[in-house]
Chain A
Amino acid sequence: MSTAFRHARREAIHILIVAGICMAWTIGYCGIFAYGSDEIQLLWGVPRWVIFGIALPWIAATVYSLWFSLVYMREDNE
């Protein structure tokens, strides 16, 4: 197999793993603290479950995406 193919395959597997982690974090946290709780706490004017279940993984995913695309991903042109 060509180097370009092996790079692309490795990167695709990386992306799938990260997508799975983001899903587990978001759905897991919201499942417990948003669906499972009647109390609504605010943090910086936003429901707490949004901050920790969505905003935080969103920021983490953004930072990861920037690192992945600008640093980790290989240049493979023909």
Chain B
Amino acid sequence: MSSSANSSLIAFVFYTVVVLGLAVISNYTFKKRAFLSEYFLGSRGLGVVALALTFGATSASAGSFAGFPSLIYAHGWSLALWISSYMIFPLCAMGLLGKRLSLISRRTGAITVPDILRIRFESRTLALMSTALLAILLCVYLMPQFTLAALIMQQLLGSSPIYQEAAIQLQHILPELIPLNVSPEYVLGLLVFAFLVVIYTTFGGFRAVVWTDILQGFVMVIGVIVMLIFALIQVGGLHNASSEMRSMQPPQLGTASFRLDDSAPPEGIRIDSETWFMDDERLFRTNEVAFIAPGTQKSSSIKVTRITTPREIDRIMEKGFPPLPAIPVVNQLTPYSKGDGEPGTYMRPPGPSPSDPNGFLPLGLAISFFVFWALSGTGQPGNMVRLMAFTGTRTLRRAIASLTVYFSMIYIPLIIIFCCARILAPGLDHTPDRIMPVMAYLLSDEAGIPWMAGILIAAPFAAAMSTVDSFILMISSSIVRDVYQQSIHPRATERTLKWLSYGTTVLVGLVATIGALYPPQFLQYIIVFTGGGLAVAFLAPISLGLYWPSFNKSGAILSMASGILVYVFLYLIGFIISEGITPVRPLGLDPLIWGFLASLLGGWAGAIYGPQNSKDVLEFFFDTSSSSK
């Protein structure tokens, strides 16, 4: 494990040097061009590979390589249905708006999404409203992304002696920087990640972000393919994996502590996470580290998983495991609400669930997610900005084709790899978020090439980086372009805009870092909430504005406001009822779908009853004077 951890550290340092090098080259490039268009849009020069991979890498956030694998591990093949709308994701996300957005943004000189709205609807109010929504939602979105990235860093490098020493030094030098409830390893990971991302984004702008996205896109796909090959070899083929999984039933989740008959020695007794032990003829695995302090006889309570599938128990017992240095005391065990005692529950939807008696993915939710990914991907302002930055329609066409193949090479293999993980690394059901690094180390160690772990584990890190850098730049561009240049100081010099852009980019990164120092709860829910909120706010106003000539300013404002209000209202009601970030889902459908429907309805009402667009706008956006039809 230690050699794997050191390999990870070497791979990470190499990766860092390359990323910073790209930023330096990018900074050199934009010295010769118009600053704002180059810094925020790369002078609209994206080619096929750049457009496809920056789109893919930005869409695949840390969730794709940390959250998604943990869901596959926890719920099995149901995740194939959960993610299935990625079959049409590139077509919808790039094809629906790409051509129009590109043409209009070139014609108008727009460089941000609020810029498009301001020009199309001749409304500064709408531009400021959309900038405010964008900045608030993206800032909220960035905090869990920074937190996830820091956790990935901690898992990636946490077992390296050099990293551990650096964390201890950080605690000694800057103790006030480390809040009570987080570890110095986490804070070190956060600071390294934030420093790296903020530096290359600030220094290199959009072009550096795209170049690093290309690098990260390749790292992701190579990591996934290598993992797939290793996983299939080690599990003995897909048929073998599925046969094992067919007999599998969910474990029981519980807690346990460990005790000694005498006091612990001066160095204490440590029982690592992922340690197997037997208690009363039952097989368990620890999911956290237990420690019996010197001079005491008992550890605090930790999470454990009890394996319940007879075939799995036989397989693990056959391999054997070392005896424990202490006596386990299992405190309580909870069976799954759905799937307990049902062999085969991992093989079909709705899939097992520890808390929901309806299972992980009831049919209504499956329908919601199919619509959710396609709508959410099309409506993300981060994706829209990329559709304003490519060289021409030929680039768009080839990028759609490339991204279709790219996503198939990422998401289908991920499902297979982490279904195999249930057989190769069982008993992590209390902490499934750890499955990605655990599998990376396991597969490369078993294959006899421990340094490979460094490359495999770089994939989730790359995914986190490629999302965060784009969003930092998008908030910065909205503030500089749509607030400062358009509303406060229209005649600002290029030099002023340049330093303001640098300053804003650093400031946004600092705010997200400080927010992540106190990690929020419900990470995945915050990501889903803000991602859905952005789509609900922007998809209808932008798409109707691009395709419907009669769609006007009143329609756009009503559409944005009604969509986001309905969406937030359903979350708020859910928050009050369930005391968590679980929304109310009328008819089993996600708030995103209701928000989008409200947005369409509001847009239609506003367009019908509001004032008409000016002739100039119609001519400029729709060429109404050319041959009519």
Q: Check if B397 sits within 8 Å of A12, measured CB to CB.
A: no
Structural contact, B400 and A65, CB atoms closer than 8 A:
yes
Q: Is B574 positioned at the interface, with any CB of A under 8 Å from its CB? A: no
Q: Which residues of B contact A65 (CB under 8 A)?
A: 88, 90-91, 400-401, 404
Alpha-carbon distance A78/B461, docked complex (angstroms) = 39
**Stretch of B27-35, B217-225, B239-247, B304-312 that contacts chain A:** B239-247
Asked if B107 is at the interface of the complex by the 8 Å CB criterion, the answer is yes
Q: Contact: B404 with A66, CB < 8 Å?
A: yes
A35 touches B350 (CB 8 A): yes
Chain B contacts of A16 at CB under 8 A? 96
Q: Which of B182-190, B367-375, B506-514, B521-529 interfaces with chain A?
A: B367-375
For the complex, is B181 an interface residue (Cβ under 8 Å from A)? no
- Residues of chain B at interface, number, CB under 8 A: 58
B77 within 8 A of A: yes
Tell which of B85, B242, B400 touches A42, judged by Cβ atoms closer than 8 Å. Answer: B242
User: Are B348 and A31 in contact, CB atoms less than 8 angstroms apart?
Assistant: no
Is the pair A70, B397 in contact by a Cβ cutoff of 8 Å? yes
Contact with B along A40-51 (1 / 0, CB 8 A): 101011110110
A residues near B629, Cβ cutoff 8 Å: 1, 6
Chain A residues with CB under 8 Å of B88's CB are 15, 18-19, 22, 61, 65
Pick the contact of A73 from B397, B408, B624 — CB < 8 Å? Answer: B397
Within 8 A of B (CB), among A1-36: 1-9, 11-12, 15-16, 18-19, 22-23, 26-27, 30-31, 34-35
Whether B404 and A12, one on each chain, are in contact in the complex, defined by CB atoms closer than 8 angstroms, is: no
Contacts of B237 in A (CB 8 A): 45
B401–A69 touching, CB < 8 Å: yes
Shortest beta-carbon distance, B247 to chain A, in Å? 10
Total contacts A-B at CB 8 Å? 162
Q: Which of B99, B396, B408, B627 has the most CB of A within 10 A?
A: B99
**Mask: chain B, 175-197; 1 = CB below 8 Å from A; 0 = not:** 00000000000000000000000
Interface of B is mostly: helix
Chain B residues with Cβ under 8 A from A2's Cβ? 622-623, 626
Bound: A45/B393 CA distance, A: 41
A37 CA to B348 CA, complexed, in Å: 9
Write the nearest CB–CB distance from A68 to chain B, whole angstroms: 7
| Residue B344 interfacial (CB < 8 Å) | yes
Minimum CB–CB distance for B236 against chain A, Å:
10
- The residue in chain A whose Cβ has the minimal distance to the Cβ of B366 is A27
State whether the Cβ of B289 lies closer than 8 Å to any Cβ in chain A: no
Q: Mark B595-629, 1 if CB is under 8 A from A, else 0.
A: 00000000000000000000000000011101111
How far, in Å, is B311 (CB) from chain A's closest CB? 15
Contact, CB under 8 Å: A49 / B348: yes
Chain A residue with Cβ nearest B359: A35
CB distance from B618 to the nearest CB of A (A): 10
Let me know if A62 and B87 touch, CB within 8 A. Answer: yes
Interchain CB contact under 8 A, B348 and A47: yes
Contacts A8-B100, A47-B242, A77-B392 given; does A35 touch B623 at CB 8 Å: no
Q: How far is A41 from B442 in the complex, measured between Cα atoms in Å?
A: 30
Question: What per-residue 1/0 map shows which CB atoms of B352-381 lie under 8 Å from chain A?
Answer: 000000000001001100110010000000
Contact residue among B92, B239, B241, B397 (Cβ-Cβ distance under 8 Å from A15): B92
Chain A interface SS verdict (over half): helix
Size of the A side of the interface (Cβ < 8 Å), in residues, is 51
Tell whether B81 is near chain A: CB-to-CB under 8 Å. Answer: yes
Interface assignment of B260: CB less than 8 Å from any CB of chain A: no
Say yes or no: is B405 at the interface (Cβ < 8 Å to chain A): yes
- Hey, what's the 0/1 contact readout for B155-181 against A, CB within 8 Å counting as 1? 000000000000000000000000000
> Which residue of A44, A49, A61 contacts B87 across the interface (Cβ within 8 Å)?
A61
> Which residues from chain B contact A1 at a C-beta distance below 8 Å?
549, 622-624, 626-629
Q: Which residues of chain B are near A55, meaning CB under 8 Å?
A: 412
The answer to whether B349 and A12 have CB atoms under 8 Å apart is no
Indicate if the CB atoms of B99 and A78 lie closer than 8 Å. no
Q: Please, which residues of chain A bring their CB within 8 A of the CB of B90?
A: 65
Known: A1-B624, A1-B628, A15-B92. A42 touches B366 (CB 8 A): no
Q: Chain A residues near B95 (CB, 8 Å)?
A: 11-12, 15, 68-69, 73
Please, which residue of chain B has its CB at the minimum distance from the CB of A33? B348
Partner of A53, one of B81, B96, B243, B397: B81
Complex Cα distance, B452 from A3, in Å, reads: 52
Partner of A47, one of B85, B91, B347, B623: B347
- Chain A residue numbers with a CB within 8 Å of B405 are 62, 66
Q: How far is the CA of A44 from the CA of B348 in the complex (A)?
A: 16
Other-chain residue from A5, A26, A27, A62 in contact with B404 (beta carbon distance below 8 A): A62
Q: Give bound CA distance, A35 to B405, whole Å.
A: 29
Smallest beta-carbon distance B627→chain A, Å: 8
A58→B100 contact, CB < 8 A:
no
Cβ B91 vs Cβ A19 within 8 A: yes
Separation of A11 and B462 alpha carbons in the complex (Å): 33
Which A residue's beta carbon lies closest to that of B345?
A40
Least Cβ–Cβ distance between A38 and chain B, in angstroms: 8
CB distance A74 to B393 under 8 Å?
A: yes
Give the complex CA separation of A31 and B588 in angstroms.
15
A33–B549 alpha-carbon span in the complex (Å): 44
Contact A78 B107 (CB under 8 A): yes
Taking a contact as CB atoms under 8 Å apart, the answer to whether B349 and A34 are in contact is yes
* Chain B 88-132: CB-based contact to A (< 8 A → 1; otherwise 0): 101110011101100100110000000000000000000000000
Contact of B408 among A46, A58, A64, A68 (CB under 8 A): A58
- CB within 8 A of A76: which of B349, B363, B367, B393? B393
Residues of A within 8 A of B (CB): 1-9, 11-12, 15-16, 18-19, 22-23, 26-27, 30-31, 34-35, 37, 40, 42, 44-47, 49-50, 53-55, 57-58, 61-62, 64-66, 68-70, 73-78
Q: Can you give 29 contacting A-B residue pairs, CB < 8 Å?
A: A1-B622, A1-B624, A2-B622, A4-B623, A6-B629, A15-B92, A19-B91, A19-B92, A23-B85, A26-B81, A27-B370, A34-B348, A42-B243, A44-B239, A45-B237, A50-B77, A57-B87, A62-B404, A62-B408, A65-B90, A65-B400, A69-B91, A69-B397, A70-B398, A70-B401, A73-B397, A75-B394, A76-B99, A77-B103
Sample of 8 more A-B contacts, CB < 8 Å, known A2-B622, A65-B404, A69-B91:
A2-B626, A4-B99, A18-B88, A31-B363, A44-B238, A62-B404, A77-B392, A78-B103
